[in-house]
């Protein structure tokens, strides 16, 4: 790549990002973007002096900051006067129109996030400051640069402040909390808190991972000659910022009220949370004449949506068992109306959250409902306690089947394969590609079999007959015959597939293979000490296995008798560059990655799922993504598929990888 090619590539990446993050209109595939991005990374690594300041690679810093420095805004960031009903709106509008006559009002969504002030100078983003007290905030420039919807440069050479709200999409907020739940971290109460917390991370890589979005709402210090706010905002959007689209110029209080109700109707359709509508005088000259009170501009107000937080009483807690066996506590509260919806239930997430917030039955609690987000308890009013409140105990038995529960703190799970609450999901997993790989036994067919009462646990699959299947809607003779044959073909499976298919918490393919290598098909007879001694096995994994065996011993034995799984034959790999090495595979190959994985395992390599300092090689194909980037960052040797084959003396063809690991072994060592 020449320097000219590099410059063109950077411009193209910026164009791709603008269409994806700002316009929500992708013009290329993720694969094409990643390929070009890696080419730019490679060039910049070789020629660091040529790095363009607003290259997409410059959005994420490498070294966490020690603290955030204080910084002053060029002009004050004001808070807004709140309006809550039609009467207050008319009073506010009349106060302006009685002096200035016919005035137009610019109305826009009020996003519920964290305010941020961007300062551009000579076309470049030079500083990003949180609101703080309105005069002084915290300098979060490096974090702001990770937000893809904030341009690193704009086509304007003057000094200017662009102000907006940093938000998190509702969908991303739920994903963040799911990840925090899995890792045992406390959950964010709402997207606003998540946005504010993410913006103030000392490690910019965490901020970058949170998919923050910047929604501009105004301009601070500037030398623009554009006379109306509506035109100024169109100018801002043209610089490369996101446009909220639902904006309107209103002529009167009646017009404002009508548009307000339109926005309330559309509220749940927005990707991010709204808590109201902002009304501003459109004329900049009139704004200047109206001026400010001690706290607020006289020319702007927030017309708030009805409260979505209400006070109620926690009556009881019931337990729900999900299809994966996870037990979730659900709060039953005194019915309360929130925006026309009667709320009687609220998620409590998990028992660690209950203990962290000290939630008790009988407590007065604040419940939050945000659009289509599930209602949740955000705060306990401890000062209202009478002493009659009851502590919520952690369950020890499954509320559905009565089996012993696996309690790991944030996660409490029923591992009984026959539990009615989780049987469908157990069978789906059992038949999946990474387990028994039963062709034709997909989600809908499993659900149909269960609904018809033909399967109540995994072993029932092997008792199905033609007459039973033909009685189901959509099942013809050929389809039924094929399914019965596919189920029968699962017999004689590899030992690791048998263990993996059981669905033991924390035990995936790699751990299943380790168990098979150590104990064969009799893994359930191993002791705590024997399993703990295996490489890669920690306390949680061991306890999960032993608890699963206690609950399902007879079912394991029954399935073992039915399937007759085959224990692995221990064959020492010949000496080769990959024997005993840790290898990660990423990207698209000329053959399925499972084939590459099988080759490596026969060569004696340990195939890992993530890149670390202990990784010896990363074998990559097209669309390599973050694992490739991590390998570059850590200096882990990278191999293309062709280079990998060359090191193993494998021909560069699909046929060499086809079939089972035995065929791979033959192609390698015969």
Cα 516 from Cα 565, distance rounded (Å): 10
DSSP state of 404: B
CB 566 within 8 A of CB 492: yes
CATH superfamily of 3-59: Helix hairpin bin (1.10.287.610)
Beta bridge partners of 326: 413
Q: What distance in Å separates the CA atoms of residue 103 and residue 651, rounded to the nearest whole number?
A: 77
CB 667 within 8 A of CB 656: yes
In angstroms, the CA 42 to CA 558 distance is 55
551: left (phi over 0), alpha (psi -120 to 50) or beta: alpha
| β 81-83/300-304 pair status | parallel
CB 482, CB 475: distance < 8 Å: no
Q: What is the pLDDT, as a whole number, of residue 639?
A: 92
Backbone angles phi, psi at 389, to 5 degrees: -65, 150
> Do 330 and 392 meet the contact criterion of CB atoms below 8 Å apart?
no
- DSSP conformation class of 145: T
Q: What is the mean pLDDT of the chain?
A: 87
- 593-602 pLDDT, tens digit per residue, is 778 888 888 8
What is the CATH class of 81-304?
A: alpha beta
Distance CA(141)–CA(193), nearest Å, equals: 19
- Taking the C-alpha atoms of residue 288 and residue 439, their distance in angstroms, rounded to an integer, is 71
- Residue 605 and residue 329: Cα distance in Å, rounded? 43
Q: Enter the tokens of residue 534.
A: 């295996």
Quickly tell me which residue has 């949506």 as its tokens: 305
Q: Write down the pLDDT at residue 659.
A: 37
| pLDDT band per the 50, 70, 90 thresholds, residue 161 | very high
How large is the average pLDDT for residues 172-194? 77
CATH code, residues 423-563: 1.10.150.20
Any idea what DSSP says for residue 553?
H
pLDDT above 70: residue 148: yes
- List, for residues 461-497, the tens digit of each pLDDT value: 999 999 999 999 889 999 999 999 999 999 999 999 9
Indicate the fold that domain 582-669 takes in CATH.
Answer: Rossmann fold (3.40.50)
pLDDT at 663: 39
User: How far is CA 300 from its chain centroid?
Assistant: 36
Instruction: Give the model confidence (pLDDT) of 566-587 as tens digits.
Output: 987 766 778 889 988 999 999 8
Where helices occur in 564-640 by DSSP H, the ranges are 593-602, 626-634
Query: What token pair was written down for 507?
Result: 């035990």
* Residue 655: predicted pLDDT: 37
d(CA 456, CA 420): 7
Instruction: Decide: 154 and 118 in contact? Cβ < 8 Å.
Output: no
Measure the CA–CA gap between 89 and 85, rounded to whole angstroms: 6
Question: Is pLDDT at 373 greater than 80 in this prediction?
Answer: no
Query: Can you tell me the distance from the alpha carbon of 603 to that of 575, in angstroms, rounded to the nearest whole number?
Result: 8
Give 647-655's long-range contacts (Cβ < 8 A, gap of 24+): 647/576, 647/577, 647/578, 648/576, 648/577, 648/578, 648/599, 648/603, 650/599, 652/590, 654/590, 654/591
At 427, which helix (H) or strand (E)? helix 423-431
CA 491 to chain centre: 37
Mean pLDDT within 116-125: 96
Domain ranges of the chain: 3-59, 81-304, 309-391, 423-563, 582-669
DSSP 48: G
Q: What's the confidence (pLDDT) of residue 669?
A: 36
Task: Tell me the pTM.
Answer: 0.51
CB 212 within 8 A of CB 242: no
Class of residue 362 by CB neighbours under 10 A (exposed 0-12, middle 13-18, buried 19+): middle
Closest C-alpha to 519, from 539, 541, 536, 499: 499
Query: How far is the CA of 552 from the CAs of 428, 499, 556, 572, in angstroms?
Result: 18, 13, 6, 34
309-391 maps to which CATH number? 2.40.50.140
Q: What is the pLDDT of residue 656?
A: 36
Q: Mind giving me the DSSP string for 267-332?
A: GGGSSS-EEEEEEEESBHHHHHHH-B-SSSBTTEEEEEPPP-EEEEEEEEEEEEE-TTSBEEEEEE
- Give the pLDDT score at 65: 64
Nearest 5°: CA angle at 137, between 136 and 142? 135
For 669, residues 6+ apart whose C-beta sits below 8 A from its C-beta are 574
Question: What is the band of 666 on the pLDDT scale with cuts at 50, 70, 90?
Answer: very low
Q: How far apart are CA 621 and CA 657, in angstroms?
A: 15
User: What is the β-pairing status of strands 582-586 and 617-620?
Assistant: parallel
State the SS3 of 163-201: EEEEECCHHHHHHHHHHHHHCCCCCCCCHHHHHHHHHCC
First to last CA, the chain: 42
Q: Where are the beta strands (DSSP E) in 518-568?
A: none
Question: Could you check whether 3-59 and 582-669 share the same CATH topology?
Answer: no
Is 444 catalytic? The answer is: no
Give pLDDT, residue 136: 92
281: pLDDT strictly greater than 50: yes
List all residues 6 or more positions away from 209 whose beta carbon is below 8 Å from its beta carbon: none
Q: How far apart are CA 454 and CA 471, in angstroms?
A: 11
Beta bridge partners of 71: 137
Q: Which residue has the tokens 């490596």?
A: 600
Which one has a higher pLDDT value, 118 or 341? 118
User: For residue 609, what are its two tokens?
Assistant: 């799922």
Lowest mean pLDDT, pick from 154-158, 190-194, 660-664: 660-664
Distance, CA of 493 to CA of 472 (rounded, Å): 28
Catalytic residue among 14, 110, 413, 597: 110
Are 576 and 583 a contacting pair, CB within 8 Å?
no
Distance CA 24, CA 563 (A): 50
């Amino acid at each position: 790549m020449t320097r000219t090619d590099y410059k063109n590539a950077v411009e193209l990446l910026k164009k791709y990002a603008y269409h994806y993050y700002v316009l929500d209109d992708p013009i290329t595939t993720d694969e094409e973007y990643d390929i070009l991005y890696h080419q730019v990374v490679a060039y910049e690594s070789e020629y660091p002096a040529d790095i363009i300041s607003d290259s997409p690679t410059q959005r994420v810093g490498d070294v966490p900051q020690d603290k955030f420095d204080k910084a002053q805004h060029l002009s004050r960031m004001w808070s807004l006067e709140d309006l809550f009903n039609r009467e207050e709106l008319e009073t506010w509008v009349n106060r302006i129109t009685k002096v200035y006559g016919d005035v137009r009002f610019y109305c826009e969504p009020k996003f519920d996030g964290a305010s941020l002030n961007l300062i551009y100078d000579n076309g470049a983003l030079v500083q990003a400051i949180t609101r703080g007290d309105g005069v002084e905030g915290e300098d979060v420039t490096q974090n702001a640069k990770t937000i893809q919807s904030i341009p690193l440069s704009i086509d304007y050479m003057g000094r200017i402040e662009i102000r907006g709200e940093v938000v998190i999409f509702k969908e991303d907020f739920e994903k963040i909390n799911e990840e925090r739940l899995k890792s045992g971290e406390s959950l964010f109460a709402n997207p606003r808190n998540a946005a504010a917390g993410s913006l103030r991370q000392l490690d910019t890589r965490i901020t970058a991972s949170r998919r923050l979005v910047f929604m501009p709402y105004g301009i601070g210090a500037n030398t623009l000659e554009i006379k109306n706010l509506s035109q100024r905002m169109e100018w801002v959007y043209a610089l490369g910022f996101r446009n909220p689209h639902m904006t309107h110029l209103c002529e009167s209080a009646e017009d404002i009220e009508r548009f307000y109700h339109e926005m309330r109707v559309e509220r749940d359709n927005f990707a991010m949370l709204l808590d109201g509508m902002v009304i501003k005088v459109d004329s900049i000259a009139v704004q200047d004449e109206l001026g400010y009170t001690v706290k607020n501009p006289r020319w702007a107000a927030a017309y708030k949506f009805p409260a979505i937080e209400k006070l109620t009483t926690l009556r009881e807690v019931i337990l729900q068992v999900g299809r994966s066996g996870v037990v979730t506590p659900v709060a039953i509260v005194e019915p309360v109306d929130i925006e026309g919806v009667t709320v009687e239930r609220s998620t409590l997430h998990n028992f660690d959250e209950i203990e962290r917030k000290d939630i008790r039955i009988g407590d007065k609690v604040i419940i939050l409902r945000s659009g289509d987000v599930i209602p949740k308890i955000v705060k306990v009013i401890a000062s209202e306690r009478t002493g009659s409140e009851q502590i919520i105990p952690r369950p020890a038995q499954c509320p559905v089947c009565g089996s012993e529960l696996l309690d790991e703190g944030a996660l409490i799970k029923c591992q009984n394969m026959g539990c009615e609450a989780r049987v469908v999901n157990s069978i789906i997993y059992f038949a999946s590609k990474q387990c028994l790989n039963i062709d034709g036994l997909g989600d809908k067919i499993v659900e149909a079999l269960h609904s018809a009462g033909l399967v109540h646990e995994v072993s029932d699959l092997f008792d199905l007959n033609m007459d039973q299947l033909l009685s189901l809607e959509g099942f013809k003779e050929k389809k039924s015959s094929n399914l019965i044959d596919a189920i029968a073909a699962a017999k004689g499976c590899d030992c690791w597939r048998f263990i993996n298919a059981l669905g033991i918490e924390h035990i995936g393919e790699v751990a299943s293979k380790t168990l098979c290598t150590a104990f064969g098909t009799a893994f359930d007879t191993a002791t705590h000490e024997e399993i703990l001694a295996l490489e890669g096995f920690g306390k949680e994994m061991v306890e999960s296995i032993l608890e699963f065996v206690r609950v399902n011993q007879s079912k394991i034995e029954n399935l073992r008798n039915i399937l007759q799984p085959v224990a692995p034959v221990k064959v020492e790999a010949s000496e080769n560059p990959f024997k005993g090495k840790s290898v990660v595979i990423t990207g698209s190959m000329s053959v399925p990655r499972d084939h590459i994985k099988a080759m490596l395992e026969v060569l004696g390599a340990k195939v890992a799922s993530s890149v670390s300092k202990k990784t010896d090689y990363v074998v990559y194909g097209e669309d390599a993504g973050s694992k490739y980037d991590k390998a570059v960052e850590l200096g882990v040797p990278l191999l293309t598929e062709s280079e990998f084959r060359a090191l193993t003396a494998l021909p560069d063809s699909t046929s060499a990888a086809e079939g089972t690991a035995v065929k791979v072994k033959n192609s390698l060592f015969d």
